[in-house]
Structure 1
Amino acid sequence: MTVKRLLIGGSLLFCALLVWGFLTFFERYTEERDRGWGPEARRNRFLAAEQYLAAVGLEPRRAENLSVVNGLSADATLFIASSSLVYNPQRVAELLDWVQSGGHAIVVARTEGFDVEEQRSEARDWLLEALNVSIMQGHEEYDFAQPLQQLLGEDAELGPQQSPGEALREYNRRIGKDDSTQKEAQAEIAREKPRNPEVEPQDLVSLTSDSGVEFQLHFNASHLLYHPGLDDNTVADAPVFWARVWRDDEAVPFMQFERGSGVITLLTDSEIWHSQRIGHFDHAYFLQLLAGNGEFVFLTRPRFESLSYLARKYAAEGFFAGALALLGWLLLRARRFGPLQPAPEAKRRSLLEHISACGHYYWQQDHCEQLLRGQRAELLRRLSATDADPGSRHKLAERLSAATGLSEHDIIASLWGIPAASEESFTEHMRTLQRIEAVL
C-alpha cells in the first residue's frame, strides 16, 4: 500500500513539474506568411479593387452582361472591362442613354486584334465609332508580368538583372534559414523593397484632383486613344479631359466625355486596377475619384470554370448523389414478391411445333369441323358434284380412285361422310382431301 502511494505521488509531482516547465518556458508568437494568391484572387483580377471600394464605403458587385445597365441608378458607376462587350448599336444606345441620365461609365477600349502596320482593328468597335475614337500604336510595351510573386508571395520578386530561375533559388535559400535569420531577412527585404516599381519619371502621368491633391499614374502606353478634338477645339462632342504620357504624344492613354448629365471615361489600360498593380502609385485613389456615390458594377467577360475545378468543388455532392443512386438501384434489384419464376426460354419453337400448337388450339375450340366442311365444299365445287345423287357419287369415286390410288370407301367418306369425331379421323380425312386436290 505504501509503495502504491509513493508511485501515485511521484506521478503527480512529475506531471506538476511538466506543467510548470511548459508554462515557464513556452512562448506564444504569431507569424504571418505570404502564400501567394488564393483561388478567388486568381479567378477575379479585380478582387483587390472590389475590396478597396468596399473599404471606402461603396457597394461593388460583378455582372456579366450589359443588360445590367437597365437596372442601374443614375448615381452608379459601371466599369466595362472591354468595349467589345458593347457588341451592337442597340447596346451602345442603351449605354449612352443611361450615361445621359447621370451615370458614369468607365470603359476599357479593346486592343486585341489591333494591326500595328495598318493602324486599325480587325473587329468593329461600335462604342469607339459612336465616340469617334480610334486606337493608335503607342510606346514600347511595358513588362508588368510578375508570375513568381503571384505564385510564391511578395518575397519572390525579380531583381534588375535576375532571371526567374535565380529568383526561385534565392527564395528557396531564404525560406531554408532558421527562424531568427529568416525574420531578419524578411525585415531587410521589407525595408529595401519599394511599393512602386522603378519607372522613369517621364513615363508617369501626373494629375491634380478637384481638392488640389496631386497623384501619379503609370499606364501601359503600348496602345493609345485618339480623337480629332485633341487637336481641334471646334470638333463637336470632343473629350473634356485627357492626359498625355509624353508631351509629344499625338494620342493619350485615357480621356473623358460628357454626355448629358453623365461622364464616360475611356482608357486602354485596365491593368492599373488589377490586383498586382492597384497598389502601385495612386491607382487605387484614381479609381476612388472616378467612382460615384452609388454602387460600383464590374462588367467583365463571362468566366467558365474548368471541368477539373467543378469536379473538385462539387465532389462531395457528386459522391452523395452517386451513393443514393447506387442504393436505389440495389433496392430495385432486390425487390421480389412471391416465388422466383423460371426464366423464359430464349429459343423460338420450330415451324412444326407452331403448326401442331395451332391445330390443338383449333381442335379444342371446335373449329376443325368447320375447316373440314370448307375443304369439302371447295373440292365438290371444283368437281361439280355439290348436289350429286348416290349414282353420280359412286361414278365420281371410281374415277378419283383410279387417279389417286385411294379406295372408293375412303373417298366417299371424306367427301360426303359424317365429320370426323377424333383427331385421327380428322387427319385421315384431310390427307385424303389434299390428295384429291393434288390430282385436279
Structure 2
Amino acid sequence: MSRRRQFLLGAALTLAAGLLGLYLLGRLEPYQETLEHGPAPEARANPYLAAEHFLRRRGLPVQRADDLQPLAELPSAGQTLLLLGDRQHMSPAQAERLLDWAAQGGHLLFVAERLWDEDEQASGDLLFDRLGIQQYQSGQLDDADSEAEAEDAQLEPLEEPNRYPELTQLYLENEEEPAYIDFDTDFHLYDAQNRAHAWANSAAATHMLQLYHGDGLITVLSDAWIWRNERIADYDNAWLLWYLAQDSAVTLLYRADRDGLMTLLLRHFPQALVALGLLLALGLWHVGLRQGPLQQPSSPSRRQLREHLRGCADFLLRRSGQHSLLQGLQQDIQRRARQRHPGFERLGVAEQWQVLSRLTRQPPKAISQAMRPLPKQRLAAADFTRQVAHLQALRNAL
C-alpha cells in the first residue's frame, strides 16, 4: 500500500472517530445523584451527638462525662447536669451526692426509669423515691381522676380543643402559642408531694416536672428520646433542650453506675496491687524452679541385652499381668510336649501330667504344681517367681 493510500485511510478513520465522539457527546445528559452512607461512626457511637453540636452552636459550653467522677470538681452554680445514662446500678451514696450538688445551686435533669410499685410503695429509683415523684403507665391512670377532671372541665368555660393531643405542650409567660414536644405518651409523671412549680402535659399524661431543691433546680422527664440524633430536629425538641440549659454550662453524663471493685482498688490501693503482683510472680518463680541439678540421659553405648530383656519383661508384666505370662509358659510346655509325644493333646489332664513327668523326669507333684489352673487373685512376688521357675525348669527339660 502506497503512502498516499495509508494517509487517506488514517484520515478517514480519524474523521469517523471524531464524528462518533461528537454523536455520543450529544446524547449524554449530566445528572446528580446523592449517595446516603448513613450516620458517621461518631454519631452511631454517641446517640446525643447532635444535641451536643446544637448546644455549642447556641453558644453554650458543653462537656461530656462517662461517670460521676467529674462531679466532685464540678461547681453547682451556673451548671446544668443532663443525666441521660442508665442509673439501675447507682448506689445510694451517688444519689445523695447528686441531690446535694443540685441543692447547692445546680440544675439537675434526669429521666424516669422505673414505674411506681403500689405494693412496695417505692419504685426502686433512688432519685425518684427521694423526691416523691412517681411514674405510671398512662393506660393505668385511675378512672376516678379522669372523672374528676371531666367534672372540673364542665364547670369551666369551654376552651379551644387541643389540636395536637399526642404532643406535649409547654406554655410560657408572654407567649400566645405553646411549644410542642413529642414525648412518649405511654408514661405519666405524678408529683406525690406537690413540689413541682412547672410542668408540661399532653392530652393523656404529664411528661415534664420542675421543682426547686435547695438553692438549685431539678427537672424530671418521662423520656429523653426526644434529644437523640434521629429525633432532636422534630417539633420543638431542640428548643426545649436549649430552654432548659440556657445561661449555663452543660455537662452530659452518659453513665451513672457505681465503680467496680477493680476500679476502686486501682484508684485507692495501687501500691498494694503492685506488691501483690510481685508476690505472685515470685511465688510462681519459686514453684517453677528445679530442685537440684538436671539428670543427664544414659549413654546408649552402655546398655546391654540383659537390660533390654528386663525392660521388656517389666513392660509385659505391667501391660498383661501375671496370668498372661504364666499361661504363656504353660502353653509353650504343652506345645513342646505335643512335638515329643504325638496325640498329647487328646489325653486327659492326669494322663498329660504323667507323660510330662516321664519326659522331664520330674515327680508328678512338681508337674501338678506347675500346670494346675492359675488362681484369680494376684500372686505374691515370691510365689510368682517360684511358679515361673518351675515352668521354666519343665520347659527346659523337654
TM-score (norm 2): 0.49
TM-score (norm 1): 0.45
